[in-house]
Structures are given as structure tokens and as C-alpha cells.
């Protein structure tokens, strides 16, 4: 069975970072979107894919979704 794909907003710190890592450990394919690039090394070492995402900018959201859908069939969990 294929992994479910998750997009976690605010994924580089706090609850978003913790959620991203726990979802990855639970065998989800996780993309952690955030406007900062801090903590990316920690996410990458956990198997999470960080990406730039500004939820207040339509173009940023569209580009992030396009980027994910270029390699995944769908986004199962937001």
C-alpha cells in the first residue's frame, strides 16, 4: 500500500515540526511547509521534505501544491 501524503503548514517549528516528524515515523510521506528555512536539517534527517510555503500568498500555496503533485498522486492530509 502506498504511503499517504501529508502537507503540514508551519512545519518547521513547534507543533508543526513535531507533527511532521511523528507523521513521518508513522509511515506517512510528509511535506513540511513554512516561510522560514530554520530546522530544515532536523526535518530532512527525519525523512521529512521541507518546502517554502507562505499560506498568506496564493502563488506560494499554488507553487507548493504543484511541487508536491509533481511527485505524489494527491495530498491526502492537510
What is the pLDDT, as a whole number, of residue 2? Answer: 83
The total domain count for the chain is 1
33 domain residue, yes or no: yes
Query: What string of DSSP letters covers 2-33?
Result: PPPEEEEETTTSHHHHHHHHHHHHTT-EEEEE
Question: Does residue 75 fall inside a structural domain?
Answer: no
* Owning domain of residue 50: 5-69
pLDDT in tens, 17-62: 999 999 999 999 999 999 998 778 999 999 999 999 999 999 999 9
Domain for residue 76, yes or no? no
Residue 74 lies in a domain: no
Looking at the domain assignment, is residue 78 inside a domain? no
What CATH number should be reported for the domain holding residue 39? Answer: 3.40.50.720
Amino acid at each position: 500500500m502506498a504511503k499517504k501524503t501529508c502537507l503540514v503548514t508551519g512545519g518547521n517549528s513547534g507543533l508543526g515540526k513535531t507533527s511532521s516528524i511523528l507523521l513521518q515515523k508513522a509511515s506517512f510521506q510528509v511535506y513540511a511547509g513554512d516561510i522560514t528555512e530554520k530546522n530544515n536539517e532536523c526535518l530532512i534527517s527525519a525523512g521529512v521534505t521541507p518546502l517554502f510555503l507562505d499560506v498568506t500568498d496564493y502563488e506560494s500555496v499554488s507553487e507548493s501544491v504543484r511541487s508536491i503533485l509533481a511527485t505524489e498522486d494527491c495530498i491526502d492530509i492537510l
